Structure 1
Amino acid sequence: MTTILFIEQVLNGLGYGFMLFLLAAGLTLVFGIMDVMNLAHGSLFMAGAYVAAHVHSRTGSFVMGVLAALAVVLVAALLLEVFLVRRLYGRDHLAQVLATFGVILVADDAVKLIWGAAPIMASAPAALSGPVELLPGLMYPSYRLLILATGVLVALGLYGLVNHTRVGMLVRAGASNRRMAEFMGVRVGQVFSMVFLLGAALAALAGALMGPLTAVQIGMGEEILIPSLVVLVIGGIGSVRGAFVAALVVGMVDTIGRAFLPLLLRSFLSPALVSDLAPAIAGLATYALMAGVLAFKPAGLFPARG
């Protein structure tokens, strides 16, 4: 293992962590503030990836693809919130899970109807298709640096919004005691709608940025939803800071494990056994991490109401 390889994998882990944060931040806002378990959040991520890839391929503009993804997903999220999610406020979590799981099935079939069942290979913008020399001998894809920068900016923006603006104060008030906030004149319903749309926008942005790094395909939302829920639990439900820290930790553990665990196991196991065993152990590492955190802090690292 060389120093260059280690630094590359650390940067890859940070990039994956930031993508998880974009998705988990929306989840933790919706679940922690609105008390709605929205499994359809992954479908919004998938929709953002498909729309961005389609518009980029047609127009040649990556920025146009991202903006189109945000616009389409926001409209879809608005319809979802008006016609379904509002009816789930105050309902038990089982009803929320069943209702939003139905949305996943509908979304997958809708994507199959519009774009077909075959995966779409999205491309990065031409200006960011080449590598950048960060250190002597360390060439790193410039598009992945864009993802890192976007994750940092979104994290700072969310922190400022939730903790240092009047909107954030209203959000926290509605989450802490909805009835009291309504008595004080806060239109909690509108605040919750804004939170839901903000979460949808983050999911769309994550999908649009993730498309060039992986195949855009049906079911990609469900695949990314599971580690996002792990991030939600580790960080603490309703905590943006917790989602940020947990996403980076999970991203690093997953990436470092998949990159270096095979090298470690090959020193005393056969290559055939390593090829089967290493991915399984690396996949279980994040769940072991979640179990370890919950054993000592059942409410997560940074519980919103700790």
Structure 2
Amino acid sequence: MGVGWRCTGLRWPDDRPELGWRKDGVPGARRASRLVYGQEIGFRAVGERRCAGARGNVCPVDAVVPARGTGARCPECARLDRAHSVAADTIADDPRTYRVYLAWFGPGMVKVGITAEERGAARLREQGAVVFSWLGRGPLMAARRTEELLRAALGVPDRIPYARKRVVRAALPGVGERTGEVAEWYGRAAALEGGGWPESLERLPFEAVDHGAVFGFGGAVEVARAVTGLVDGGVVAGRLVAAAGPDLHLESGAGGVVVLDTRLVTGWELRAADAGAGVSVPVVDIGGGGVQGGLF
């Protein structure tokens, strides 16, 4: 990580996560750092957090944004990004094929969503879905109507907070049990086939995909603390033991495992730090139930 490189967040282009970077003042200067479980990671935040821009473009005013927000965008860039978002229901004429999916994050924690077929399962990894199955494929509006139908009929939410996803990772059931639960939900969805599924949506057979190994969930992921934001000069360091969605799980000495939501890192200039330096940014205790407001 050289001087002037700002983090653009965590991506899941395949079965391994990577951090993206852009260089200040050099249009088009971007790179990515592949992450491997077991590797030692250490970085120090420098200066102020800057707007991440919109739709791949830099912020025209290089605005300073709050350290604790997960959006990492100024109001204007956030508006522009939202205006081109399928999730925001602002695009109706997208010609691409979309897929409807059923995602499982923990016992009883299920949601239905859609993603562009060309993206494959990247969207599921970005959300931290432990198990998922495709439900169908077709035009955007057919996929959206199916998504709305299933949400209402199955009584599942349109989104699940990351805080809830983190808590259940400490006690996930085995592969067989969680796959079985997804199969049950798939069966409920399939039983609604004659009750409003658009004819233009092609049904897809049940095929559970488990991300346990992809995320590094070889055993219980007992997280003790979560980073709440970076500060100038603050360090985050440790051994990477797991990752899911935007979260990195770092084993940090006597402090136990700390989860870093990389949406909080986006927009910061980061420089290398000693991997044994621990964590010296604000954190909250999510393992024992208490709250730690100071610096570690």
> TM-score band, normalised by the shorter chain?
under 0.3
Question: What's the TM-score, normalizing by structure 1?
Answer: 0.24
Give the number of the structure with larger relative contact order, counting CA–CA contacts within 8 Å between residues 6 or more apart.
1
Between Structure 1 and Structure 2, which shows a larger proportion of strand residues?
Answer: 2
Between Structure 1 and Structure 2, which shows a larger proportion of helix residues?
Answer: 1
